[in-house]
Amino acid sequence: MQATRAKFHGPTQELLGVPVSLLDMDATVSAVEQMISEGGQHLIVTADASGFVIASTDPELAEIYQGADLATPDSQGVVWALHRKGAKGVARVSGVDLFDRICRLSAERGYRLFFLGAAPGVAEQAAERIRLRHPGCNIVGTRHGYFTADDDDLVAQEVSVARPDVLFVAMGIPRQEKFIVKTLGTIGAKVAMGVGGSLDVFSGKAKRAPQFIQRLKLEWMWRLLLNPSKFSKVKMLPRFVRLVFMEGK
Ligand code: UDP
């Protein structure tokens, strides 16, 4: 089923064809509240440098990014590119932080959340830990993300039974975004967002960098040291920089 999307409007800066949101974290959380209260269905993408690079050779992902209701600057690379284009005072709004804030919001407002993705057991473990972190957070369902595209509709029907307001999909770029666009109409959530490795982080399976490393803007290096398989992502950074320079100011 095709989702009927209600477009959210906020300040943006165009980057590689994508209108990237200039809202800071608090304003982004307010935008999410607005999306939930106004009804309709909304797609949030958290765009990092690797996402832009993948989109440059994947027209389906490029179209999804361009049509998203909110594309947040998920990485320091994207923040740098926005500054270069003249956008002032842009702050990083990472998927993992936004995920955490929406969980807090759920504890305050009762919004129904569904966690879909990561290896078997991880979403459940993340849910357990999030409930301790944000008592009252209303997680209405969890499911692992290891299934093929042939089963997308089946999984969507399974998720829809839980009637989530917000669907988080942690299956990596671009699989998670493509799954959301294909199934949002069936699932019926008001907001859906791809969150990459966030369930791994909140389950305790993966560790975020200490605050001081995040402040030094070196979280990517920390991830690489802990998990060398992430090297394929880091390798995309020079390509991202090249794309940004080719686009010009
Ligand atoms: N994953 C999944 N299904 C798959 C492939 C991956 O659920 O078929 C999960 C994986 O276990 C991990 C997440 O997707 O939890 C991808 O995390 P990553 O940090 O690689 O995401 P990205 O860097 O693309 O945001």
The model carries a pTM of 0.91
Is residue 171 lining ligand 1, measured as CB closer than 6 Å?
A: yes
Domain-located, residue 16: yes
Domain-located, residue 26: yes
Domain, as residue range, for 27: 12-247
Rounded distance, CA 193 to CA 205, Å?
A: 21
pLDDT 10s digits, 123-136: 999 999 999 999 99
The three state secondary structure string of 29-64 is HHHHHHHHHHCCEEEEEEECHHHHHHHHHCHHHHHH
Domain-located, residue 118: yes
Domain-located, residue 137: yes
Which parts of the chain sit beneath pLDDT 70?
1-8, 228-229
Would you state the pLDDT for residue 2? Answer: 47
Q: How far is the CA of 65 from the centre of ligand 1 (A)?
A: 18
Is residue 67 lining ligand 1, measured as CB closer than 6 Å?
A: no
Domain-located, residue 7: no
Phi, psi for 184 (deg, rounded to 5):
-60, -40
Q: Which pair of tokens denotes residue 170?
A: 């942690």
Number of structural domains in the chain: 1
Would you state the pLDDT for residue 185? Answer: 97
Would you state the pLDDT for residue 1? Answer: 43
Q: How far is the CA of 196 from the centre of ligand 1 (A)?
A: 5
Is residue 145 lining ligand 1, measured as CB closer than 6 Å?
A: yes
Is residue 54 lining ligand 1, measured as CB closer than 6 Å?
A: no
Domain-located, residue 3: no
